[in-house]
Amino acid sequence: MTALIAGKTVTISVTSVPKEPRHRKTIERLMRLQPAVQRTLTRVARKRGRDNPLNQRGGRMWVSRIPATRCVGAELGAKFTLRVTPQIMPDVMAVSRFLEIA
């Protein structure tokens, strides 16, 4: 594992899929930090808010909540590039045994 330096852009690949959901969620949260993924999530969230169906329940207008889109997954061999900041260093170190940093 190479040393993580704040402000440096690194490419990370998933070498093994964690069995515990907390580790899988941490990896997916790190994958969602990519600018391209954030743009996609923002666009889809905007569309979801625009197209929200309204219906009446108990005499009140009710907005049916549509679940958030899952556009990344912690799969074996998945690669992602992100800029290291001091805020995400603990998360990367917590799941470092499942990742390879280049």
3-class SS of residue 13: strand
* DSSP class per residue in 72-89: ----TT-EEEEE--TTTH
- Judge contact between 34 and 81, C-beta under 8 A: yes
pLDDT tens per residue, range 30-86: 999 999 999 999 999 888 878 877 888 888 888 877 888 899 999 999 999 999 999
Helix (H) or strand (E) holding 10: strand 9-14
pTM metric for this prediction: 0.85
